[in-house]
Amino acid sequence: MFLQSLKRVLPAAFFLVLLAVSCFAQTGPSNTFAGIQIELPAGGHLRVENQYGEVAAEVWRENYVSVSATIEGAKTFARSPVIIENRNQLGIRIVRGPSDPAAAIRLAIKIPETAHVEIVTGSGSIRLRGVPAAAVVRSIAGDVNIEFLQSVNADIVARSAKGLVRSELPQLLSENGHVLQARLGSGAQTLRINTETGPITLSPVSNSAVSERPDSNSPDALGNEAPMKAAGIPAPASETQEIGEGDIIRVDSQLVTLNLSVIDRNTNRGLVGLSKSDFRLFENGAEQQILQFESSAAPFDLLLLIDLSGSTRDVVKLIRAAALRFIDAARPSDRIGVITFAGRPTVVSPLTLNREVLRQRVSAMDTSAGDT
């Protein structure tokens, strides 16, 4: 429930922060943390990140988010590794303190079917059962498994730079093993999946029903002693309101991702073949350990804008040849679109992976009447 006044916003925000650090509290060290529910308005945005293990997400018909975490093996944590933040959107992250054991952490989450969710891992796998209103799933090296309901209506783009995209649904077929682009039904939902090296699997769900409210006696129920009222998300503060310290959760991060590009000063071209041993990283004069190093080969969306006004009539063959060379040089997983303009723009081809269609449409381009 949205709160309208500042007096009500700040206590609610402070209460939400207390939930983040105490709702998972146990009587002593534990390897299982379960017991929090967070209300999410219809169409609300949610970001989930776990750099220390896997994420198992499931879509259900409730209007709140259910969260639990499990420490793999016999290791125990003194406090919950789950951090909950709420600024522009609800955020759920897994953190590991300096004194915590180096153990994998499994995050299980149930999300409303009206949610807009982003799920991120490093090397941990991601399993999403059902598709919400919108979902973005990203992993560097983890396996991604998406289980579809029978009645799904989704616009789907799945890409893996170095892994394989596999579909067990006959209406979803990958064009080259690394990219799948399709629409099921009306395409009312959107699903975007990206990995660097992890494989992607799309399959039908084993049970066609979306999860209902968990039974209070089941192991997955959150709050077995008594029903817990979902924690409300405070209304966004107006521009004139100041953010209090109660709105902020600060943690020490053990893993930070740095994106960088290396170019040759003489040629201005990117250098390839670099490895982790070629880099040294410092923070405030202290050298930091590089735990993981990978070159990025994520696919791109490329749009060609081509002038075909009357002034280009003498060079239109050269323009077509240059566009065809560009198409041939692009990677199979890069989507390419073409727009020409001569007085007004014309979409020759929307973004597509179909190279044959692109070549045919580019070869058929000709000058048009009109000025640039």
State both tokens at 84.
């909950």
pLDDT at 8 over 80: no
User: What is the side-by-side strand order in the sheet with 82-86?
Assistant: 82-86, 90-94, 45-50, 116-121, 134-139, 189-195, 154-160, 179-184
Chain centroid offset of residue 44 CA: 15
Q: What mean pLDDT do residues 10-29 have? A: 39
pLDDT of residue 251: 43
pLDDT of residue 31: 63
CA 153/CA 134 separation, integer angstroms: 11
For the chain, give every domain's residue range: 6-236, 301-363
Give pLDDT tens digits for 127-162: 999 999 999 999 999 999 999 987 778 899 999 988
Q: What is the mean pLDDT of the chain?
A: 77
- pTM to 2 decimal places: 0.55
pLDDT of residue 29: 53
Higher pLDDT, 109 or 28: 109
Give pLDDT tens digits for 187-245: 889 999 999 999 999 998 765 444 444 444 433 433 333 444 444 444 444 444 444 44
User: What is the side-by-side strand order in the sheet with 55-60?
Assistant: 32-39, 64-71, 105-112, 55-60, 126-129, 144-148, 200-204, 165-167
Give pLDDT tens digits for 36-71: 888 888 999 999 999 999 999 999 999 999 998 888
Single-letter residue type at 218? S
Tell me the pLDDT band of 79, cut-offs 50, 70 and 90: confident
pLDDT at 23 over 70: no
Tell me the pLDDT band of 372, cut-offs 50, 70 and 90: low
Q: What angle do CA 169, 175, 180 make, to 5 degrees?
A: 60
- Percentage of the chain with pLDDT > 70? 73
Higher pLDDT, 73 or 357: 357
Helix extents (H) in the chain: 6-22, 316-329, 355-363
Chain centroid offset of residue 241 CA: 31
CA 141/CA 211 separation, integer angstroms: 29
CA 131/CA 242 separation, integer angstroms: 36
pLDDT of residue 55: 97
> Which of 330, 331, 347 has its CA nearest to residue 339?
347
CA 122/CA 100 separation, integer angstroms: 19
